[in-house]
Structures are given as C-alpha cells and as structure tokens.
Amino acid sequence: MTKNKSYIYQNPTEFDGAIRRTIPCYEEMLEAIADSVFLPPHRCRGLDIGAGTGAVTKALLKRYDHLCMHCLDFSTEMLGILSDSLAEFVGRYEITTHDIRVRTLSGSYDLVVSNLSIHHIKGLDEKRAFFENIWSCLTSGGQFVMGDWFLGANPDLDGMYETRWKEFEILNGKDPDDVENHHREMKKVDFPSPLVSQIQILQQIGFQDVDCVFKKYNFGVVVCRR
C-alpha cells in the first residue's frame, strides 16, 4: 500500500474506511479478485503483495479452506492490523515486512495476488522485471491476479478517469481542495502504467489466459496463469 499516507489515511487504523471513500470501486475489485481465483484441490500456498490490512487475504481464506497465505507489506503498522483482522484464521497465514520496490520476491506459490500495489513501481521496465519475478515464484499452472490503478490509452481518457474519480471522493464527503491537492501529490509518488501495455508484458513473459475480468474507468483486475 501507498507510503503517501496523507492521500488515503492519517494512520493505519483509518485505512479500511478511508480507502472505501477514496477508490470508487474498491469492493467490486475485491469481489472480482476473489471470484477469479481457481485453485487445485490440494493444499495451496498463496502470496498477497501489499496486503495492507488483509482485505484480499481474508476474502480468499473464507472461500478456500485448503489455502494458506503469505502476506507482504512495507508497513509494520498495517500488518499489525492485518493480524487482528485475520484472528479467526490463525495458522493459515504468515506476515513479512517487505517493500516490493527494493526487494525481490522468493518462494514457491500456487497463487500470487496484489491489489492497489503495483502502481508504486516506476515504469514499464521495472514492472516487467517485477512480473518476471512473480513468474519465477509461481508453480506450473499457478495464478497471478492483479487489481490496480491503470492509465488509459490516451490523455483524454485519463482526464475523464480522473474527473470521475475526484467526483466520487467529493460525493463521499471530501473537501474539493483537499481532493485536488491529494491528486497532485499522488502523481509525485505513484506510477500507474497503461493497462494494455501491462497485459502485453505479461503475455510476452509467457503468462497464459491473460484477461481483464473487471474494469471501471482507471481501476481494473487482470488475471493470468503460468
């Protein structure tokens, strides 16, 4: 999750409520991610990149009794809240403090998921390297499911997307000046890339069955398989 704390939350305890007032389709993205996971019947291991307070992991653990998750986030405070949120699943998850921008991934997983994290990685070349790292961590047939903020195909679309996004935040009670300031600051620390470009990179790496299962303006969910 983002290090730009002023944009979504002032402290980690506010995150779950604040992100739902900030991201127009947050719940829909969570549902699309969970719906798009198809696991083999044997005991499976998953990796949640940028796990935050554990919303994605919690949804998956509820659905799949034979799944255990490894949750990564740069924020120890967020991971502390995650542990409280997942109290009913003790023994089925582990947590590690990890910043995806400076550390590579390791291990072997049947599933890798990420929601609203990969746009923190600069540029398409860096994202390619990260996707290759994910590929190396997946078992044969393993799934990668990515929810994120994407750029559109041209500046006109990006302008429309941002307008709709700001309108959503204002309708949810945010001060218009704060919204403008937050979006301006966000552009300094976040690096979304075009959806189509990232799909092409996944295909070039060798991922199969690449598809966009959900999209609403500049937010979407992409699935693929090794």
Over residues 32-47, the pLDDT tens digits come to 999 999 999 999 999 9
5-118+149-225 under CATH 3.40.50.150, yes or no: yes
pLDDT tens string 118-159:
999 999 999 999 999 999 999 999 999 999 999 999 999 999
Burial-class residue 120 by CB neighbours within 10 Å (0-12, 13-18, 19+).
Answer: buried
Q: Is the pLDDT of residue 172 over 50?
A: yes
Residues 224, 48: Cα–Cα separation, whole Å: 15
Residue 118: count other Cβ atoms within 10 Å of its Cβ: 25
Label residues 52-76 b or e (16+ Cβ within 10 Å = b): bbbbbbbbbbeebeebbbbbbbbbe
The domains of the chain are located at 5-118+149-225
pTM: 0.90
CA-CA distance, 160 to 200, in Å (whole number)? 24
CA–CA separation, 130 vs 207, rounded Å?
13
